[in-house]
Structure 1
């Protein structure tokens, strides 16, 4: 239904980078009115921290707190871990973002880099958004 490739201007550790990807993804979903929304991430530790509302005093605590706050405002939002191999669309979007100088957003269409893969997946699954960053 919607996708994005977003550029990060700063370098963060792996957990903070994944948390920012999730935060930007749910902000985008909220702005697009996509609800319920299922966040599927290969960042198992970050997904666990969000689901447990823990590590709010860590280096990425403010990001986690923002995720928890926004998720409390969205009906049906849930966070699940999936292995990186099962998250190929997000990986292609992340690789595409490395080539960009500005953020890109798509509504009811797909970026060229993932069109074939999304078309195949749509016949099997219903996906609201996928979000990931390469680091």
Structure 2
């Protein structure tokens, strides 16, 4: 029998699949409104807790440790969502949807560039704090 953490992870994954399919249906039924909403959510997303005192320092430590950072967000959250919904390749959209689609594309490019820069920064930080091995 799986432990509580496995049950929670399974439950969270089922929620994600449900909401992703629900949004895919909305995208088919109301492409302009759904694509604009997706652009707003993706481009304006902030981690929950950003207003908590000390959040930025804690988030930086979590990111530096590779637990959750821009790379993880890009590779494991944003890209799979965009692929599953075919957001950047959906044909036959109206002007509002195409504008939102372009906004999402620019956001993804900026996120990827930011992730690359922070990955390099964390690599330099880790290299500079690495202790030399004793003979």
TM above 0.5, yes or no, is: no
TM-score, normalised to structure 1, is 0.29
TM-score, normalised to structure 2, is 0.29
Greater RCO (Cα-Cα under 8 Å, separation 6 or more): 1
The structure in which a higher percent of residues are helix is: 2
The structure in which a higher percent of residues are strand is: 1
